[in-house]
């Protein structure tokens, strides 16, 4: 057995059933612990995202607006997983995997809320005068037994730095270059060079530059993809009832059943559950501890306020964008069809086929553009995660600048080379990030609850009473 095989087996174990149970289980625990307030206040959270920034908020500590913080977090989460991951889950786990993506996302709202609350509460100011926060600072400053918190914080930071080069960089760059090459014939090296230069221009400016760019790219790409996906669903509406029926039926069927609109997908409830939860968590990153790093940079007057805003990232990523991909595939009638090689079509090719059934050749172009924008923004968001994690380990401005340069150079390598060993290793590190983060959430659950209930009693409840009186 060679090193590559061993690494692949380790990666499968890390992202296996035990990890998925821990992730979803923590989400269930936090949902109950917080008396379902993340669910009950979802409407408030969504309204908060689109409200104009409070001018008084500028006097509070923070580097970017709450909206820019959310967009930076969304930039890192809305990526190839929303296009490629959903299609893969629906083929391997059956169309019922989409239901389990939704279920994991619902509990992921509480997880993402809790992560973000701790990130803001325990953040610090670094040597640049910028905010630095995330699970590592919550462990360092929040744990009563300091040495345990310090060890877990260091482990999380190491895992995050390594993951940033693979999952947040090489895989995304490779997806962009292959998509543009297959659709438009653009050489891989040209794409790699362009992405590298564009990323360097943005990243030199730090979080403020990243926040500004992401606040422009993310809403544009999400709305464009949503509208195009909605058009596909509407034009294929005649297949939608059958597609939804298959999704619901195969999500809870205990026996292996031949299904899918195409008729050749075979999956069981356990398979649907495993792949739905796995792809859902991979897409929205709830529980991994990455998104709170962006939450810590926000200008806000209360940890819970940013917690609610950032938790909507899970809603938008999975319950909106992933749902559009899944329903577009389900309504297109292409799920389960075979390619020229006799194998079931999966991944990006399945999504392209689904969009092409309604939009023709333009469908392939739109999916390619979507992958390009999604993946590029993911690169920007993950660079910030990796940079802040490295900054926790090595407090040196020179090392930070060196990291940015190396990160951009790696983009070219990822765009022009497929290094499966590197991808598997970084994917494993990505999964391992969740272990210290989940421990942190469980240990500090009382702190999260205290912040949550205080905000509920002092801000949300009085606001609602005031609105009722005005009516």
Average pLDDT over residues 53-62: 56
Separation of alpha carbons 95 and 245, rounded Å: 10
Mean pLDDT across 388-409: 89
Most confident range (mean pLDDT) of 7-21, 184-198, 261-275, 414-428 is: 184-198
Question: Per-residue pLDDT tens for 348-397?
Answer: 788 888 888 888 888 888 888 888 888 888 898 889 889 889 999 988 88
Structural domain includes residue 56: no
Q: How confident is the model at residue 422 (pLDDT cuts 50, 70, 90)?
A: low
**What is the model's pLDDT at position 36?**
94
pLDDT at 471 over 70: no
- Give the model confidence (pLDDT) of 294-326 as tens digits: 888 888 888 999 899 999 989 988 888 889 998
Instruction: Pick the range with the lowest mean pLDDT from 10-19, 92-101, 317-326, 356-365.
Output: 10-19
Q: How many Å separate Cα 259 from the centre of its chain?
A: 29
Quick one: pLDDT at residue 126? 78
Query: At residue 268, does pLDDT exceed 70?
Result: no
Q: Are 172 and 153 in contact (CB under 8 A)?
A: no
Within a domain: residue 54? no
Q: How far is the first Cα of the chain from the last one, in angstroms, to the nearest whole number?
A: 71
Tens of pLDDT, residues 200-247 = 988 888 777 887 888 888 888 888 888 989 999 999 888 888 888 878
Q: Where are the alpha helices (DSSP H) in 78-129?
A: 80, 86-92, 97-121
Q: Is the pLDDT of residue 262 over 70?
A: no
Q: Which strand (E) or helix (H) includes residue 258?
A: strand 257-259
Q: Does any domain span residue 266?
A: yes
- Check residue 203 and give its pLDDT: 87
Is residue 339 in a domain?
A: yes
- Inside any domain, residue 84: yes
pLDDT above 50 for 255: yes
For the cut 70, the answer to whether the pLDDT of residue 102 exceeds it is yes
- Cα 304 to Cα 37, 65, 115, 247, 334, distances in angstroms: 11, 15, 10, 35, 43
Q: What is the CATH number of the domain that holds 14?
A: 1.20.1740.10
**Predicted local confidence at residue 259, as pLDDT:** 46
Of 141, 116, 134, 31, the residue nearest 66 (C-alpha): 116
Whether 82 is in a domain gets the answer yes
H/E stretch holding 125: strand 124-125
Mean pLDDT score across all residues of the chain: 83
- For residue 55, being part of any structural domain is answered with no
Confidence at residue 116, expressed as pLDDT on a 0 to 100 scale = 93
Query: Would you say residue 152 lies in a domain?
Result: yes
CA–CA distance from 200 to each of 249, 395, 404 (Å)? 47, 22, 8
- Asked whether the predicted pLDDT for residue 83 surpasses 90, the reply is no
Q: What total of structural domains would you count in the chain?
A: 1
Cα dist from 185 to 170, 181, 188, whole Å = 20, 4, 9
- Can you give the pLDDT at residue 447? 94
Mean pLDDT over 128-151 rounds to: 89
pLDDT value of position 223: 87
pLDDT at 421 over 70: no
Question: In the prediction, which pLDDT does 1 show?
Answer: 59
| Confidence tier at 455 by pLDDT (50, 70, 90) | very high
Which domain covers residue 36, as residue numbers?
1-49+61-468
- Average pLDDT rounded to a whole number, residues 404-421: 84
Which range among 84-88, 95-99, 290-294, 307-311 shows the weakest confidence by mean pLDDT? 84-88
């Amino acid at each position: 057995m060679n090193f590559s095989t061993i690494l692949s087996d380790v990666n499968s174990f890390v992202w296996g059933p035990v990890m998925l149970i821990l992730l979803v289980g923590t989400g269930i625990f936090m949902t109950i612990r917080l008396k379902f307030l993340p669910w009950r206040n979802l409407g408030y959270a969504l309204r908060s995202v689109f409200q104009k920034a409070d001018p008084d908020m500028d006097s509070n500590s923070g580097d970017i607006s709450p909206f820019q913080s959310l967009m930076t977090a969304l930039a890192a989460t809305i990526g190839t997983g929303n296009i490629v991951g959903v299609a893969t889950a629906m083929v391997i786990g059956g169309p019922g995997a989409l239901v389990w993506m939704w279920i994991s996302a619902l509990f992921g709202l509480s997880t993402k809320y809790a992560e973000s609350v701790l990130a803001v509460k325990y953040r610090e100011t670094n040597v640049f005068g910028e905010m630095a926060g995330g699970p590592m600072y919550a462990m360092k400053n929040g744990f009563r037994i300091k040495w345990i918190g310090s060890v877990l914080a260091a482990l999380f930071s190491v895992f995050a730095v390594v993951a940033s080069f693979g999952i947040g960089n090489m895989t995304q760059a490779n997806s962009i270059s292959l998509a543009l090459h297959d659709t438009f014939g653009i050489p891989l090296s040209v794409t790699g060079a362009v992405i590298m230069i564009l990323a360097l221009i943005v990243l030199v400016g730090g979080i403020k530059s990243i926040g500004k760019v992401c606040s422009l790219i993310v809403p544009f790409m999400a709305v464009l993809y949503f509208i195009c996906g909605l058009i596909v669903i509407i034009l294929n509406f005649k297949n939608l009832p059958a597609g939804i029926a298959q999704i619901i039926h195969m999500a809870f069927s205990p026996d292996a059943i031949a299904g899918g609109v195409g008729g050749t997908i075979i999956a069981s409830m356990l398979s649907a559950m495993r792949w739905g939860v796995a792809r859902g968590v991979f897409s929205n990153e709830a529980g991994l501890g990455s998104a709170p790093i962006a939450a810590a940079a926000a200008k806000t007057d209360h940890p819970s306020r940013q917690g609610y805003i950032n938790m909507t990232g899970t809603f938008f990523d999975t319950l909106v964008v992933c749902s559009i991909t899944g329903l577009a595939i389900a309504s297109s009638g292409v799920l389960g069809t075979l390619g020229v090689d006799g194998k079931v079509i999966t991944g990006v090719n399945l999504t392209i086929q689904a969009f092409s059934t309604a939009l023709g050749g333009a469908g392939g172009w739109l999916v390619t553009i979507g992958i390009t924008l999604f993946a590029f923004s993911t690169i920007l968001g993950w660079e910030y995660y990796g940079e802040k994690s490295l900054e926790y380990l090595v407090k040196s401005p020179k090392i930070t600048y060196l990291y940015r340069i190396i990160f951009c150079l790696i983009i070219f390598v990822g765009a022009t080379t497929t290094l499966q060993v590197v991808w598997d290793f970084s994917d494993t590190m990505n999964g391992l990030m969740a272990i210290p983060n989940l421990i942190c959430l469980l240990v500090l659950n009382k702190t999260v609850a205290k912040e949550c209930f205080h905000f509920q009693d002092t801000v949300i409840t009085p606001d609602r009473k005031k609105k009722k009186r005005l009516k």
